[in-house]
Amino acid sequence: MQTGSGEAALITAVMASVILFCRACPFLFFRGKKPGGSAETFIVFVEKVVPPLAMTVLAFNTLSAVVFESVKQGGYAQIVSALTAAAVTVIAHIWKRNSLLSIFGGTAIYMLLLRIINF
């Protein structure tokens, strides 16, 4: 199915306007607020809570998908590898407080364990 140039232009315009609205949204809703007001308190709360919350949701989503797929297929090596790598990631992050180190370290451990356990 091919899209005509008119449809492509319309889709591009809609996507651009949605992205522009999302980028402008904070400035539109929080302009003119005094420092120390409820808007600033809300933004501080969001900055503090949302990133760890998003990472936790993503981690549980990933781990649950690995566990459910592995149980369906009977391959428990992936479960052991995923849970061990998740534990290494958490320990490395608590120990060094370096996101890149913990993410790359956990990924490397996961890949290494998959290769070692599956053979």
Q: What is the pLDDT of residues 24-71, one digit of tens each?
A: 877 777 666 565 566 677 777 778 888 888 888 888 888 888 888 888
- Residue 69 lies inside a defined structural domain of this protein: yes
**Nearest CA among 55, 64, 49, 119 for reference residue 93:** 55
pLDDT for res 42: 74
> In this model, does residue 1 exceed pLDDT 60?
no
Confidence of residue 72 (pLDDT cuts 50, 70, 90): confident
- Residue 9 lies inside a defined structural domain of this protein: no
CA distances 12 to 5, 7, 110, 114, Å, are: 10, 8, 39, 42
pLDDT for res 104: 92
Mean pLDDT of 97-117: 89
Tokens of 88: 């290494």
- Residue 79 lies inside a defined structural domain of this protein: yes
- Residue 20 lies inside a defined structural domain of this protein: no
Number of domains in the chain: 1
- Residue 106 lies inside a defined structural domain of this protein: yes
| Residue range of the domain that includes 68 | 49-118
- Residue 89 lies inside a defined structural domain of this protein: yes
